[in-house]
Structure 1
Amino acid sequence: MKLENNPLQNKSYDFALSIIKLSKSLMTINKEFVLSKQVLRSGTSVGANIVEANGSISKADFSAKISIAYKECLETKYWLSLLKDSKELRIDEYEELFEKADEIAKILFSILKKTRINK
Structure 2
Amino acid sequence: MKSNPLMEQSEQLAVCIEKLCKSLNKSNHSNTIFQIKKSSSSVYANISEAQYPQSPADMLSKFKIARKECIETESWLKLLYKTEAINETTYKTTRNQCGRIRRMLTSSCITIENKIKNN
Fold shared per TM-score above 0.5 = yes
- Looking at structure 2, the residues matched to 18 and 100 of structure 1 have their Cα atoms a distance apart, in angstroms, of 10
Cα drift, residue 116 of structure 1: 1.3
Q: Structure 1: where are the runs of 5+ without partners?
A: none
Structure 1 residues 55 and 27: alpha-carbon distance in aligned structure 2, compared to 1, 3 A threshold: farther
User: Partner residue of 1:20?
Assistant: 18
Contact 1:70/1:108, CA 8 A, preserved across alignment: yes
* Equivalent residue, structure 2, for 1:7: 5
SS of the aligned residue for 2:24 comes to helix
1:45 CA displacement: 0.9
* Other-structure match for 1:32: 29
TM-score by length of 2: 0.91
Cα 1:24–1:4 change in 2 (3 A) is: farther
Deviation >3 Å, runs of 4+: none
**Match for residue 86 of structure 1 among 79, 83, 86:** 83
> Considering only aligned residues, what root-mean-square deviation do their CA atoms show, in Å?
1.4
Amino acid at match of 2:17: I
Superposition map of 1:66-77 within 5 A: 66-77=63-74
Looking at both structures, which has the greater relative contact order when contacts are Cα pairs under 8 Å and sequence separation is at least 6?
Answer: 2
TM-score normalized by the length of structure 1? 0.91
